[in-house]
């Protein structure tokens, strides 16, 4: 895919996300813009970031280059998420949107089950074939799933667990628009089995109906400190 087509697709997705005021989850801004700065200096504090003096705002505060460049997927899950939020594009601060490029390795590259606690996500497939889905909340826990091809779009509602799996033999690429300048991400396996300090294995063994030794193994796989939780000091 040419750089022009990639960037055009990404822009179209963001435009669709931003076109309706109801699509933005963050509070609406009370000024034209609020370019984020790390030091207060002569700025003012609005919606999570200090704002640069508007008279000092420049084009670079509202732009980012290189999203067309493929990212490495040489990791355990075979995917790479490049998030563009107010940290990468300071001019996004208070605007209520962000976006991401997602690269998937061939034959099973996975963006594992996760949630965005502050954003709805709309995904546009640019290359490859993705099996995607989300699970509804209790008590139904319905799996809503579909196979997507280039040009297909899918929506993941705010807060619901969702995933994308590359079921093709070639690499896949997608771009996502998110209805928050800071959508957050909670990867389920990492949060549950890799928390710091670790969750009591008795809790996980009962919740997942697993042998405790399997819980220990999973905590080790996800970097948790097995057997070193706050409950060890309890009487």
Measure the CA–CA gap between 61 and 86, rounded to whole angstroms: 10
Query: Residues 148, 101: contact at Cβ < 8 Å?
Result: no
CA angle 38, 42, 43 (to 5 degrees): 55
CA dihedral 16, 132, 106, 112 (to 10 degrees): 100
111 is in an annotated binding site: yes
- The continuous run of DSSP H or E covering 27 comes out as none
68 is in an annotated binding site: no
Query: Residues 126, 173: contact at Cβ < 8 Å?
Result: yes
Is residue 87 helix, strand or coil?
coil
190 is in an annotated binding site: no
CA angle 64, 21, 113 (to 5 degrees): 65
Measure the CA–CA gap between 211 and 204, rounded to whole angstroms: 9
116 is in an annotated binding site: yes
Instruction: Pick out the residues of the known binding site for oxalate.
Output: 111, 116, 121
Instruction: Pick out the residues of the known binding site.
Output: 111, 114, 116, 121, 162
Instruction: Pick out the residues of the known binding site for Mn(2+).
Output: 114, 116, 121, 162
């Amino acid at each position: 895919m040419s750089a022009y087509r990639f960037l055009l697709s990404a822009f179209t997705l963001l435009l669709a996300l931003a076109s309706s005021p109801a699509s933005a989850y963050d509070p609406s801004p009370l000024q034209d813009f609020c370019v984020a700065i790390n030091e207060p200096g002569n700025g003012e504090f609005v919606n999570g970031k200090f704002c640069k003096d508007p008279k000092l705002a420049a084009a670079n505060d509202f732009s980012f280059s290189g999203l067309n460049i493929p990212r490495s997927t040489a990791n355990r899950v075979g995917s790479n998420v490049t998030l563009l939020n107010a940290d990468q594009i300071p001019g996004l601060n208070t605007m209520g949107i962000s976006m991401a490029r997602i690269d998937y390795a061939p034959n099973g590259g996975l963006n594992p089950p996760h949630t965005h606690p502050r954003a709805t996500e709309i995904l546009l497939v640019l290359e490859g074939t993705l099996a995607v889905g989300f699970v509804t909340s209790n008590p139904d826990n319905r799996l809503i799933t579909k196979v997507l091809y280039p040009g297909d779009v899918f929506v993941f509602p705010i807060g619901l667990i969702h995933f994308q799996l590359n079921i093709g033999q070639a690499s896949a690429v997608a771009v996502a628009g998110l209805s928050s300048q800071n959508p957050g991400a909670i990867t389920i396996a990492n949060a549950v089995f890799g928390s710091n300090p670790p969750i009591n294995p008795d809790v996980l063994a009962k919740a997942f109906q697993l042998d405790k030794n399997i819980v220990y193994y999973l905590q080790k796989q996800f970097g948790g400190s097995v057997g070193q939780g706050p409950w060890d000091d309890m009487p």
